[in-house]
Amino acid sequence: MKKRELLSIFLFIAISISGLSQNNFNVNNMKWTRDWTNFEPNRTNYPNHDIQLPNIISKDTYLRSDIIYLISGDVYVTDNATLTIQEGTLIKADSEKSTNLIITKGAKLIADGSKVLPIIFTSNKSSHSRKSGDWGGITIIGSGKANTVEGEGIIKGEFNPLYTKFGGNDIDEETTILRYVRIEYAGKSTNGLSFYALGNQSVVENIMVSYSADDSFEWHGGASTSKNLISYKSSDDDFDFTQGYRGELTNILAVKHPYITSNNGSYAIEVDGYNKKLGFESSKILSSIDITGATLIILVDESNYYHSRAAISINNLGQLYINDSNISGFSDVVKLDKSFSTLRMIETAFKLDNSFFNVHKEGVTTYHNITGDTFNLLKYNRFTKRFQQPEEIFSDPLDKANPDFTLKNSLNNYMVVQ
């Protein structure tokens, strides 16, 4: 396997240093992924639907778990209506049409599943025939703050223009409540789950997006917090942030396959400070994200590890602080674009703390080839001396039904960047 010679040149490596050798920091227990997830959704036999939902839901509507629903074409929740979905409900999406669920500005989605009875959105194809991009996805539009020139914007996609505006000044809006929800085989011309200017009272917890043909999760503005999010084998980015999103995420898992990617490549995390095509209102509210407890993995081995790229991409003056996290299989930890022209700007944009990484190149790559001191971005984190395969790092990462991405060994067994 290729060693990271440049990393060895620019870093002084100590196997143990005072304050780190005494504690096994960053345990990052993966128990939160148990019991409500499904890592083999194509093997699951879902029954046929009972009722097709209308394409316009303009009054409060309740979906019951004893009925199986179909959405066909674009379904809009409008006129400040609330769509409430009972735990354990199954919603199938028509794969023959461009099918999306759009919660328009002022409307609300309450999909409050449970660990035992999660809510499932999936393709209407039979088992073993479902594939990425069978249907569109779920788009939730809020009235919170977005860093656009006018403070508002238009959502991506070919949707009815009556229902595409997002953003405003209602930063305390409870735009949605999502708990224990699985979204499978989405991403047709949009993302698996898109958030636009969510208010900070929104609840987004225990969500799994599997086999999205586009991004799994994408945030445009807003200031909401989220936790326990899984992106499994998406074709594009796993977690994407833009247009001044400023929030916190706790416990996220991104699992990438070396041969599943978009034409332009994909990242586990992509941060854009603003949308370059649209500009921004204020340089003081560019996208800034804090993430605690991330596990970012690409399942490469000795035969294909050279296909991987950086785990994280930061563009257009975005900012990311990530801690207590594990990053494995990628070429580098982070790549920064040409908007970061000095070392000081880079140090402001990215911080990694109390974390572990297993990469096969330098660790940090910049557009302007700023070398040497950029490796201080990785200071005091643990890393492998040589690039290792996933089964060497994690407890059982290749189990198809119940993978376990807990670190196999104590972090005290790894090197420390000093």
Between the alpha carbon of residue 312 and those of residues 18, 174, 195, 273, the distances in Å are 29, 30, 20, 14
CA 414/CA 410 separation, integer angstroms:
8
pLDDT value for 12: 37
Q: How far is Cα 55 from Cα 78, in angstroms, rounded to an integer? A: 10
Gap between the Cα atoms of 148 and 150, Å rounded: 5
* Fold of the domain spanning 5-417: Pectate Lyase C-like (2.160.20)
Q: What is the pLDDT of residue 6?
A: 42
- pLDDT score at 281: 61
CA distances from 9 to 12, 14, 335, 339, 373 (A): 8, 13, 19, 27, 11
The size of the chain, in residues, is 418
Residue 278: per-residue pLDDT: 66
State the pLDDT at residue 231.
98
pLDDT at position 151: 74
What pLDDT is recorded for position 353?
94
Q: In terms of C-beta distances under 8 Å and separation of at least 24 residues, what long-range contacts does 307-311 make, across chains too?
A: 307/258, 307/259, 307/261, 308/258, 308/360, 309/265, 309/267, 309/335, 310/267, 310/334, 310/335, 310/365, 311/267, 311/268, 311/269, 311/357, 311/359
Kindly report the backbone phi and psi dihedral angles of residue 349, in degrees, each rounded to the nearest multiple of 5, phi listed first. Answer: -80, -35
Encoded amino acid at 333, one letter: V
**Cα distance between residue 193 and residue 199, in whole Å:** 16
Closest CA to 181 of 157, 203, 155: 203
pTM: 0.92
| E-state strands within 58-149 | 61-63, 69-71, 74-77, 82-85, 90-93, 100-103, 108-112, 119-123, 137-141
Residue 272 host element (H or E):
strand 269-272
Identify the pLDDT of residue 11: 41
Give the span between the Cα atoms of 380 and 20, in whole angstroms: 8
Taking the domains of the chain in order of start, what are their residue ranges? 5-417
Q: Torsions phi, psi of 255, nearest 5?
A: -120, 115
In this prediction, residue 372 carries a pLDDT of 58
Give the three-class secondary structure for 41: helix
Tens of pLDDT along the chain (418 residues)?
Answer: 444 444 443 443 333 333 344 444 445 679 999 999 999 999 999 999 999 999 999 999 999 999 999 999 999 999 999 999 999 999 999 999 999 999 999 999 999 999 999 999 999 999 999 999 999 999 999 999 888 777 789 999 999 999 999 999 999 999 999 999 999 999 999 999 999 999 999 999 999 999 999 999 999 999 999 999 999 999 999 999 999 999 999 999 999 988 877 767 799 999 999 877 666 665 667 999 999 999 999 999 888 888 789 999 999 999 999 999 999 999 999 999 999 988 889 999 999 999 999 999 989 999 887 765 656 789 889 999 899 999 999 999 999 999 999 999 888 889 888 7
pLDDT of residue 55: 98
* Phi, psi angles (nearest 5°) of residue 167: 95, 165
The Cα angle at residue 226 between residues 38 and 277, in degrees rounded to 5: 105
Number of Cβ atoms within 10 Å of the Cβ of 250: 17
Q: What gap in Å lies between CA 55 and CA 46, rounded to an integer?
A: 23
Short-list 374, 334, 336, CA closest to 355: 334
- Enclosing H/E stretch for 382: strand 382-383
Maximum separation of any 2 CA atoms in the chain, in Å: 64
- Between the CA of residue 288 and those of 242, 247, 324, 334, what are the distances in Å? 9, 7, 18, 15
